[in-house]
C-alpha cells in the first residue's frame, strides 16, 4: 500500500483532494466516510433544524447513543495523544513513526466527540454559557474547559511535531507541551468515567473502578486506531519497521483488551456477588437482557476474542490488512463497551413503579437508539473519517517522519 | 362550647399569609403527604399539569402505584412523588452553568434561560423527579379542520399560551425555553408568592398533601414532621428531602 512520495510543490486544494496519488485504502476510506456522512446528513439536518423529538432516550433513560459515542470518541482522542507522548516524550521504539498520525487523529476525533455530545444538548446554542458562567464544581464544566485546552494543546503539539526533526533531541518547549498534554489526556479520559461515577443515585456507576478503567480504555482505543492507520494507510520506506509496528501495536491492543476483560470481570463479578437490586438490574440487562448481543457479540466476541485469535495466526498477524481489521474490531468493541456502561445503568426504576405512574413520550426505561440517533452518529463518524484521511493527505502524516514533503 | 376545628386548607392558607410576612430566607417550605389518606385519584398530578401547562412527557408529580403480596394477601399503595426539594440536592452541583440551584427559600429551582439541556441533573436525581421537555403538545396530533369548532388551530390555543412558572411568562413557541430544558416541581412558587397553596395541595380531595413553613412552630407541617410515623424517601443518601410522608 506504499505510495509515491510527493516531491514537487502543489496548491493546498490540489494537495487535499489529490485522489490520483491516494492509495486504494485511502480512496476506500474516503468513499466509506462520504457515504456515512451522506446517510448522516438527514439526521444532522433533523437534529439541528427540527429538534430532539425523534430520539430514543428521554427522562428516565437520560443519556443514549450520542453520549456513548462522545465517551468513545473522546477516549480515542486522548488515547491517541498518549500514543504520541510515548513516541516524542518517552521515545518508546515500538511506537516510532506514529506520533504525527496519532496527534492528527486526536485533533479529528475530539471535535467529533464534542459534536456528538453537542447534539445531545437541549439548547446547544447556549454552550457559550459554560465558558462565560461556568460552575467549576460541575465535572461537565471541567470537561468542557478541559477539552478546549486539550484541543489547543493538540494543535500546538502537532505544530511542534512538524518542526521537530527526527534524530534530534526534543526541545524543552515540546517536552513541556507534551507533559501538559499528557496530564490533560489522563485527566480527561478519567474524567469522563468520573462524569458517570459521581452519580451516587446510580449504584452501577458509582464505584471507584469506573473512572480508573477509562484511561485504559482510552489508550487501547488510541492504539487500535493507530493499528488501522499503520496497517492500512501508513507509508513507510522500511517495510520491516512497518511490519514491526503493526505487530507491536497488535499485541498492545490485545494486551489492553485482556486488561479490559480483567477489569470487566472484577467489576461485574463484584457487582454480581453483592446482589444489590440497583446493580443487578443493569447487570442482567447487559449479560442476559436487552443488551446481551451488544455485550457478548460485539464487545466480547468481535471486540476481544476474534482479534485475539486473528493475532495468534502468524499468516494473518503479518498482514497489514488484517492488522487494520483487528484495529477496527477492537475499536468497535470499545464503542460497544461505552454503550454497555451508559444505557443499562439507567434501566433501573428510580422508584418502584415510576415508569408506569405517568405515560408520555420519552417516559420509559426501554431504550434502543432511534433512526435519528444512528443517522447523526453515522454523520459524525463519516465526517471524522473524511477529515482524518483528507487531512492526513494534506499534512502528509501517513508518510515516514523523515520524508520531506513540500 | 368547643370551637369547630378549621378545615386544614383554611389553616394552611392562614399560615401561608403569616409566612409571607417573614423574610424569604426565614421560611422553610416543606410538604407532608399522608399516605394513609391518599386514594390514588391523581387529582394532584392533573392539577399540576394544568397549573404549569405541562406538555406530554413532562410530569412534576406522578402518583406511583405499588401492589404488594399475592392473592388473597394483597395491598395496594399510592406514593405521590413531587420534587423532594432536598437540602443537600445531588442535582445542583452537577449543573455546568448553575442553571439549577436552591433559592433563598430553599426550593430547588431551574433558570430556564440559563439551562443548556445537558440533563446531568436528571441523571443525578435519585428520585427521578426531573423530566425533559422535548417540545410536544397534546393537540399536535389533531387534524386541522378549517371552519370546524374544534381543530388543532383552536384546540392548541390553551397549550401554547404562556404558563407562569417562577413568576414569568413562558410561551411555548418554536424552540424557546422551557422546551429543551430540564423541568421539575417548584412547589408552585408563583402561586405561593401570591398567597395561594401549591396546586396539588389545593386539589387533594382527601387533604392528604399538606404544605407550609416548618420554621413556624404552630404550622400544621411542623406538627406533622415531629410525628414518629414520618419518613422521607432514600434518607440513606443524605439528600435531606423536604418532602415528608406519613405512613
Residues of A in contact with B122 (CB under 8 A): 59, 62
User: What are the chain B neighbours of A55 within 8 Å (beta carbons)?
Assistant: 134
| CA angle at B19 for the pair B15 and B24, rounded to the nearest 5° | 155
Q: What is the pLDDT of residues A65-101, one digit of tens each?
A: 999 999 999 999 999 999 999 989 988 877 888 889 9
DSSP sequence for chain B: -PPPPPPHHHHHHHHHHHHHTS-GGG--EEEEEETTT-----HHHHHHHHHHTPPTT--S--EEEEEEEETTEEEEEEEE------SS-TTTTT-TT--EEE-TTS-EEE-TTT-----HHHHH-TT--EEE-----TTTTS---TT-SSSHHHHTHHHHS-B-GGGS-B---TT-TTTTSEEE--TTHHHHTTT---HHHHH-TTS-EEEEETTSTTSHHHHHTTSTTEE-TTGGG----SEEEE-
| pLDDT of residue B202 exceeding 80 | yes
pLDDT score of B120 = 95
Say whether pLDDT at A27 is over 80: yes
What average pLDDT does this structure show over A334-356? 91
Output the pLDDT for position A165: 82
Instruction: Find the CB nearest B95 among A124, A135, A200.
Output: A135
**The pLDDT of residue B166:** 94
Separation in Å, CA of B179 to nearest CA in chain A: 8
Rounded CA-CA distance B130/A250 in Å is: 46
pLDDT tens readout for residues A302-314 = 998 999 898 888 8
139-168 in chain B: CB under 8 A from chain A: none
Q: Using CA coordinates, name the residue in chain A closest to B101.
A: A135
Whether residue B100 lies within 8 A of chain A, CB to CB, comes out as: no
Q: Which of A129, A354, A360 sits opposite B57 (nearest CB)?
A: A360
Q: Are strands B29-34 and B243-246 parallel, antiparallel or unpaired?
A: parallel
Cα–Cα distance list, A289 to A13, A58, A286, A375 (Å): 51, 20, 6, 25
Decide if B97 and A133 are in contact by the 8 Å CB cutoff: yes
What are the tens digits of pLDDT across the range B130-147? 999 999 988 887 777 766
* pLDDT tens digit sequence for A214-234: 898 899 999 999 989 988 888
Q: A59, B136: Cβ pair inside 8 Å?
A: no
Summarised one tens digit per residue, pLDDT across range B152-190 is: 777 778 888 888 999 999 988 878 899 999 999 999 999
Q: What is the pLDDT of residues B13-36, one digit of tens each?
A: 999 999 999 999 999 999 999 999
- Rounded to an integer, what distance in angstroms lies between the CA atom of residue B246 and that of residue B227? 8
pTM of the model: 0.90
Instruction: Please list the residues that pair with B80 across neighbouring strands.
Output: B63
Which of A134, A141, A354 is facing B62, going by the closest CB pair? A354
Q: What percent of chain A has pLDDT over 70?
A: 93
Phi, psi angle pair for B74, to nearest 5°: -120, 140
- Residue A2 pLDDT grade (very low, low, confident, very high; cuts 50, 70, 90): very low
pLDDT bin (cut points 50, 70, 90) of residue A402 is very low
- A93: cell is 521504539
Q: How many Å apart are CA A261 and CA A271, to the nearest integer?
A: 15
Q: Please list the alpha-helical segments (H only) found in A89-138.
A: 99-119, 128-132
Q: What is the pLDDT of residues A265-288, one digit of tens each?
A: 888 888 888 888 888 888 899 999
- Do A51 and B90 count as a contact with CB atoms less than 8 A apart? no
Cα radius of gyration (chain B): 19
Nearest to A357 among B65, B114, B175 (CB): B65
Helix (H) / strand (E) containing A295: none
Write down all domains in chain A, each with its CATH number in brackets.
Answer: 63-395 (1.20.1630.10)
Q: For position A1, what pLDDT does the model report? A: 43
Of A124, A130, A362, the CB nearest to B134: A362
Which pLDDT score is estimated for A50?
87
**Ordered structural domains, chain B, with CATH:** 8-246 (3.30.70.20)
The number of residues making up chain B comes to: 247
Residue pLDDT, tens place only, B90-127: 999 999 999 999 999 999 999 999 999 999 999 999 99
For residue A206, the Cα-to-chain-centroid distance in whole angstroms is 23
What pLDDT sits at residue A9? Answer: 61
Binary contact (B131, A59; C-beta < 8 A): yes
Ramachandran class of A240: left when φ > 0, alpha when ψ lies in -120 to 50, beta otherwise: alpha
Interface probe for A, chosen from B35, B38, B61, B64 (most Cβ of A below 10 Å), is B64
C-alpha dihedral, A226 to A231 to A236 to A237, nearest 10°? 160
All residues of chain A having their beta carbon less than 8 Å from the beta carbon of residue B98 are 133, 135
C-alpha span between A333 and A341 (Å, rounded):
12
Polymer length of chain A: 406
Residue A3 has pLDDT above 70, yes or no: no
What local confidence, expressed as pLDDT, does residue A301 receive? 94
A149-206, pLDDT tens digit by residue? 999 999 999 999 999 887 788 889 999 999 999 999 999 999 888 989 888 888 888 7
Q: Do A362 and B135 touch (CB under 8 A)?
A: no
Shortest distance, CA B218 to any CA of chain A (angstroms):
33
3-state secondary structure of A343: helix
Q: How far apart are CA A2 and CA B171, in angstroms?
A: 62
Taking an 8 Å cut-off on Cβ atoms, the answer to whether B57 and A357 are in contact is: no
Cell numbers given for B163:
404558563
Query: What residues in A contact B182, CB-CB < 8 Å?
Result: 122
Interface test with A, best of B67, B95, B121, B134 (most A CBs within 10 A): B134
Closest CB from A354, A358, A361 relative to B134: A361
Residue A400 has pLDDT above 80, yes or no: no
Q: How many CB pairs under 8 A join A and B?
A: 154
pLDDT band at A253 (very low <50, low <70, confident <90, very high): confident
- Residue A130: which of B97, B135, B175 has the nearest Cβ? B97
Whether residues A202 and B123 touch (CB distance < 8 A) is answered with yes
> Per-residue pLDDT for A401 more than 50?
no
- A59 sits in which H/E element: none
Which residues in chain A are contacts of B62 at CB distance < 8 A? Answer: 354, 357-358
The mean pLDDT value of chain B amounts to 92
Between residues A254 and A37, which one has the greater pLDDT?
Answer: A37
Query: From CA B109, how far away is CA B90, in angstroms rounded?
Result: 13
Write the CB contacts of B226 (distance below 8 Å, at least 6 apart in sequence).
none
Amino acid at each position: 500500500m506504499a505510495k509515491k512520495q510527493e516531491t514537487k510543490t502543489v496548491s493546498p486544494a490540489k494537495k487535499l483532494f489529490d485522489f490520483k496519488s491516494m492509495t486504494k485504502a485511502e480512496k476506500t476510506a474516503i468513499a466509506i466516510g462520504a457515504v456515512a456522512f451522506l446517510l448522516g446528513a438527514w439526521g444532522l439536518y433533523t437534529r439541528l433544524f427540527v429538534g430532539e423529538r425523534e430520539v430514543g432516550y428521554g427522562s428516565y433513560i437520560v443519556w443514549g447513543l450520542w453520549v456513548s459515542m462522545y465517551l468513545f470518541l473522546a477516549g480515542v482522542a486522548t488515547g491517541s495523544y498518549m500514543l504520541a507522548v510515548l513516541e516524542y516524550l518517552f521515545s518508546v521504539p515500538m511506537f516510532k513513526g506514529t506520533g504525527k498520525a496519532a496527534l492528527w487523529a486526536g485533533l479529528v476525533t475530539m471535535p467529533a466527540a464534542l459534536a456528538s455530545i453537542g447534539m445531545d444538548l437541549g439548547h446547544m446554542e447556549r454552550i457559550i454559557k459554560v465558558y462565560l458562567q461556568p460552575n467549576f464544581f460541575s465535572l461537565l464544566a471541567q470537561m468542557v474547559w478541559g477539552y478546549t485546552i486539550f484541543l489547543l494543546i493538540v494543535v500546538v503539539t502537532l505544530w511542534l511535531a512538524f518542526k521537530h526533526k527526527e534524530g534530534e533531541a526534543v526541545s524543552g518547549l515540546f517536552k513541556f507541551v507534551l507533559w501538559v498534554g499528557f496530564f490533560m489526556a489522563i485527566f480527561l479520559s478519567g474524567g469522563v468515567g468520573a462524569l458517570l461515577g459521581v452519580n451516587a443515585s446510580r449504584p452501577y456507576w458509582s464505584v471507584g473502578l469506573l473512572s480508573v478503567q477509562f484511561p485504559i480504555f482510552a489508550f487501547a482505543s488510541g492504539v487500535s486506531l493507530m493499528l488501522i492507520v499503520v496497517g492500512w494507510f501508513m507509508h513507510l520506506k522500511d517495510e520491516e519497521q512497518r511490519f514491526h509496528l503493526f505487530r507491536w501495536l497488535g499485541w498492545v491492543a490485545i494486551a489492553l483488551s485482556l486488561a479490559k476483560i480483567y477489569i470487566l470481570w472484577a467489576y461485574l463479578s463484584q457487582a454480581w456477588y453483592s446482589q444489590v437490586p440497583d446493580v443487578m438490574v443493569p447487570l442482567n440487562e447487559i449479560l442476559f437482557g436487552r443488551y446481551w448481543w451488544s455485550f457478548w457479540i460485539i464487545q466480547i466476541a468481535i471486540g476481544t476474542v476474534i482479534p485475539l485469535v486473528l493475532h495468534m495466526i502468524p499468516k494473518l498477524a503479518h498482514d497489514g490488512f488484517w492488522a487494520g481489521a483487528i484495529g477496527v474490531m477492537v475499536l468497535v468493541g470499545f464503542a460497544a463497551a461505552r454503550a454497555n456502561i451508559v444505557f443499562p445503568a439507567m434501566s433501573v426504576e428510580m422508584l418502584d413503579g415510576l415508569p408506569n405512574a405517568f405515560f408520555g413520550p420519552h417516559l420509559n426505561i426501554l431504550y434502543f437508539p432511534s433512526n435519528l440517533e444512528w443517522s447523526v452518529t453515522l454523520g459524525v463518524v463519516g465526517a471524522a473519517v473524511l477529515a482524518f484521511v483528507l487531512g492526513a493527505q494534506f499534512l502528509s502524516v501517513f508518510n515516514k517522519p523523515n520524508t520531506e514533503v513540500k | 362550647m368547643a370551637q369547630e376545628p378549621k378545615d386544614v386548607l383554611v389553616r394552611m392558607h392562614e399560615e401561608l399569609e403569616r409566612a409571607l410576612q417573614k423574610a424569604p430566607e426565614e421560611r422553610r417550605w416543606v410538604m407532608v403527604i399522608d399516605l394513609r389518606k391518599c386514594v390514588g385519584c391523581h387529582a394532584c398530578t392533573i392539577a399540576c399539569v394544568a397549573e404549569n401547562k405541562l406538555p406530554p412527557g413532562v410530569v412534576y408529580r406522578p402518583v406511583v402505584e405499588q401492589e404488594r403480596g399475592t392473592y388473597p394477601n394483597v395491598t395496594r399503595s399510592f406514593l405521590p412523588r413531587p420534587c423532594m426539594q432536598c437540602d443537600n440536592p445531588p442535582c445542583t452541583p452537577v449543573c455546568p452553568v448553575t442553571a439549577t440551584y436552591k433559592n433563598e427559600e430553599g426550593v430547588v429551582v431551574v433558570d430556564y434561560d440559563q439551562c443548556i439541556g445537558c440533563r446531568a441533573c436528571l441523571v443525578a436525581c435519585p428520585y427521578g423527579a426531573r423530566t425533559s421537555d422535548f417540545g410536544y403538545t397534546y393537540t399536535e396530533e389533531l387534524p386541522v379542520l378549517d371552519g370546524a369548532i374544534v381543530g388543532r388551530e383552536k384546540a392548541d390555543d390553551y397549550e401554547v399560551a404562556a404558563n407562569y412558572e417562577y413568576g414569568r411568562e413562558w410561551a411555548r413557541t418554536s424552540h424557546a425555553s422551557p422546551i429543551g430544558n430540564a423541568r421539575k416541581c417548584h412547589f408552585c412558587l408563583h402561586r405561593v408568592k401570591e398567597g395561594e397553596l401549591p396546586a396539588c395541595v389545593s386539589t387533594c380531595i382527601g387533604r392528604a398533601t399538606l404544605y407550609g413553613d416548618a420554621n413556624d412552630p404552630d404550622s400544621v407541617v411542623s406538627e406533622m414532621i415531629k410525628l414518629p410515623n414520618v419518613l422521607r424517601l432514600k434518607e440513606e443518601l443524605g439528600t435531606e428531602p423536604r418532602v415528608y410522608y406519613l405512613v
